[in-house]
Amino acid sequence: MLDILIGGAISGAIFALISVGLNLQYGVTRILNIAHGDFLMLGAYVTFFFFSSYGVNPLLTLIISGPIVFFLGILIQVTVFRRLVYLSKSAEELEFRSLLACFGLSFIIQNVVRLIFGITPIGSPYLNEAVNIFGETFQLNMIVAAVISIAISVAMYFLLCSTRAGLVMRAAVEEPTGAQIVGINILKVHAVSFGLGAFLSAIAGSMWSMIYSDITPYKGPIFTFIALAIIVLGGMGSFVGSLVGGFLLGYIYYITYKWEPLLYMAVVYIFLLIMLIVRPKGLFGK
């Protein structure tokens, strides 16, 4: 039970960080970015490149992978999704068009990475030594990744709830017309929000590569599906829901993975289907 309690919390902290980024992107821009997991994969490959080629500490690569993917996210939003906003006559039409665009974006990212790095699974193993916690053994890198994930998630919550930048983002979501009347640049808010979502995903990917050596160019969709499941659990657009849903799914994942590793995604989606039927708006959805 102690193993499940601590191990599930560690997995949940990383999953929550992944879902917070996707929830932020959708909540502000109304773009359901199903290429979100591919940004995570990019973060992992950036860490792998600097670690394997130059011996850079994987923890230090967080300040490299995050900003690189952040600016890439802004570039994609400005060049692709901003145009879709102009062309779409309603939020529903924007969601549909952006969904198709994200499918294409996912395939492009996957195949570019495959062309550069190949399809052999990669990782940046670091801090693999075991740590004893109340009689249970865990890898140090898992604990470090969980602590960093929680710290970043708390920082994002503070940003959204207690800063002027967060107030601007929330205003752009709740009353976009009024926000523009008082001088808020909605286009800039959308670009930064999309970039922040990509940033959080890349950070999660860098930390994932420290723990597991299973990242391939085609690993991204799995993380996208996990993030979507968490958002459905917690509620679309709810920051607290992403955190709670992340930890819930972390425990489901950890227990299933300990029992039968090949079934963890099946169990995740069984739980997801139950939630869609019983509470389709999620635990904290409006």
pLDDT of residue 228: 87
Residue at token pair 């994932």: 208
Section 18-33 average pLDDT: 85
| Sign of the dihedral defined by the CA atoms of residues 11, 221, 218, 98, in that order | negative
Residue 200 binned pLDDT confidence (cut-offs 50, 70, 90)? very high
- Count the neighbouring beta carbons within 10 Å of the beta carbon of residue 218: 16
Residue 208: partners with Cβ closer than 8 Å, 6 or more residues away: 14, 40, 44, 145, 215
Q: Per residue in 207-231, pLDDT tens?
A: 999 988 889 999 999 899 888 888 8
pLDDT of residue 252: 87
Is 6's pLDDT higher than 90?
no
98 against 64, higher pLDDT:
64
Residue 34: partners with Cβ closer than 8 Å, 6 or more residues away: 99, 102, 103, 106, 221, 224, 228
Q: Flag the least confident range among 14-23, 154-163, 264-273.
A: 264-273
Is 38's pLDDT higher than 90?
yes
Helix (H, G, I), strand (E, B) or coil at 138: strand
Residue 131 binned pLDDT confidence (cut-offs 50, 70, 90)? confident
Most confidently modeled of 52-61, 125-134, 239-248? 52-61
* Residue among 205, 206, 189, 195 at smallest CA distance from 71: 195
Enter the pTM of the model: 0.91
Section 80-90 average pLDDT: 81
pLDDT of residue 121: 93
d(CA 80, CA 262): 37
Residue 276: partners with Cβ closer than 8 Å, 6 or more residues away: 232
Is 90's pLDDT higher than 80?
no
Is 285's pLDDT higher than 70?
no
Residue 78: partners with Cβ closer than 8 Å, 6 or more residues away: 191
Is 27's pLDDT higher than 90?
no
d(CA 43, CA 133): 30
9 against 284, higher pLDDT:
9
